[in-house]
Amino acid sequence: MDVVNLSPSNSNTTIPVVATLPAYGSDSSTRKPISLWPGMFHSPVTQALWEARSHMFERLLDPPLDAPPQSELLNKTPSQSRTTILYNFSSDFILREQYKDPWNEVRIGKLLEDLDALAGTISVKHCYASDTTTRPLLLVTASVDKIVLKKPISVDIDLKIDGAVIWVGRSSIEIQLEVTQSTEGCDNSGSLALSANFIFVARDSKTGKAAPVNRLLLETEREQLLFKEAEARNNLRKRTKGGHKRDFENGAISRLESLLAEGRIFCDMPALADRDSILLRDTSLENSLICQPQQRNIHGRIFGGFLMHRAFELAFSTAYVFAGLVPCFLEVDHVDFLRPVDVGDFLRFKSCVLYTEVNPDQPLITIEVVAHVTRPELRSSEVSNTFYFTFTVRPEAKATTNGFRIRNVVPATEEEALRILERKDAQALLSSTVVTK
């Protein structure tokens, strides 16, 4: 037990410090208490999930690398992986305080972390084999499809997250999560507040290579529809991966020149620049951290949800200082987890307002956050993730400010202009795909 000596000059008092997390015991003295498992200092959701499924997760703590891989794939239904989380906000004051933001709503960054934890649990359930003589798979977050907030989420009303596997490839799994919350005072089952789709990939815990996962057995028409939609998204990702820049380089030079024209005025004739515009580089913020053991997942890597949480907090701050009013989160665009982040890594988050849409009814602010894994001793820096968050301004905040409007963001370099055009093209492609379906 750690102690902190707070004694003033005229006294000698030692105050003991104890763990605030309860230690869950076990009939076996050799089993590590769940309260000491990786990531337990993150969220009540992580502890609840691992407590409920401890028999599955124990093997992942220390996988038997000398055991053979799973020899026969199983057929599993979506209902077998379905998991539901219930937040009893209406009756649990402590839980409410843990999730409350300054506007009496749920902290979105913390909710993103919980979504990743739940999606990871669902992927483990689908890949779990009752045969304990085989070595388990490593499951990592590969990407996150668009996360859309449908309505504000109150911290005073009970909240439910429900999720299941909706699509399976050879070594990939897509999980759909839906967050629902009832209207205060109503007894209905709740309306959709947020939707998200996570894609996990399976790796052999010994070789690190892609490993096949259990097949998906569809039982209902809705499950078949969700599978087809996920299949279409997967095919679209394959077709467009790395294709935006090549398409742009073959044409649309006028779009690039148009974007750069105002930026050149800022650089060459700042006194004549449009006062309703601002250079992209002047909207940037940055923070950094050393990744700690408490932030790791059960495989020893840093939680994807933790990265999203930190990226969201920086994006929110960027939108706040840019607009001058409290921002309102709308969505997270598609996120690819390009490089794993390990304990001890020096992680840098850099944000900027990439572009805006000046709509009087609902102005939109698109924030780009790039996470870099930096190794000073090797003089190297690699991109781990790029996040795109969209915000607007809270209506109640906008109503108190006469003549409010956000500024246009203009690039000063060709590289900045390319980033803007690639992001807009990706958004347009996604929107046209949704309309077509």
pLDDT in tens, 216-228: 999 999 999 999 9
> Which of the residue ranges 191-200, 294-303, 353-362, 416-425 would you say has the lowest mean pLDDT?
294-303
Angstrom distance (rounded) from CA 274 to CA 265: 9
Give the pLDDT of residue 336.
86
Which residue from 336, 370, 333, 332 is spatially nearest to 350, judged by alpha carbons? 370
Q: Averaging pLDDT over each range in 46-50, 187-191, 198-202, which range is the top one?
A: 198-202
| pLDDT, mean over the chain | 81
Q: Is the pLDDT of residue 436 over 50?
A: no
pTM, rounded to two decimals: 0.83
Tell me the pairing of strands 277-279 and 408-410. Answer: parallel
Stretch 269-294: mean pLDDT: 90
Chain CA centroid to CA 400, Å: 32
Better-scored residue on pLDDT, 227 or 400: 227
Q: Tell me: pLDDT of 251 over 60.
A: no
- Which of the 8 DSSP states describes residue 157? S
203: exposed, middle or buried (Cβ count in 10 Å: 0-12, 13-18, 19+): middle
Which residue segments constitute the domains of the chain, with CATH numbers given? 50-240 (3.10.129.10), 243-436 (3.10.129.10)
Asked whether residue 2 carries a pLDDT value surpassing 90, the answer given is: no
**Under a CB-based contact definition with an 8 Å cutoff, are residues 417 and 411 in contact?**
yes
Among candidate residues 436, 406, 415, 14, the one with its CA nearest the CA of residue 235: 436
Residue 406 pLDDT:
87
Listed range (166-175, 239-248, 373-382) with the worst mean pLDDT: 239-248
pLDDT of residue 53: 61
The DSSP annotation for 216-279 comes to E---SHHHHHHHHHHHHHHHHHHHHTTHHHHHHHTS-HHHHHHHHHHHHHHHH-GGGS-TTEEE
CA separation for the pair 81, 125 (Å, rounded): 5
- Number of other residues whose CB lies within 10 A of the CB of residue 400: 9
* pLDDT computed for residue 37 by the predictor: 56
Highest-confidence segment of 104-118, 263-277, 385-399: 104-118
Segment 154-164 mean pLDDT:
94
CA-wise closest residue to 393 among 351, 347, 428, 357: 357
Mean pLDDT to the nearest integer, 360-378? 90
Burial degree of 341 (CB within 10 A; 0-12, 13-18, 19+):
buried
pLDDT tier for residue 140 given thresholds of 50, 70 and 90: confident
pLDDT of residue 127: 86
The b-or-e profile of 356-395 (16+ CB within 10 A means b, else e) is beeeeeebbbbbbbbbbbeeeeeeeeeebbbbbbbbbbbe
CA distance 420 to 417: 5
Q: Which residue has the higher pLDDT, 46 or 80?
A: 80
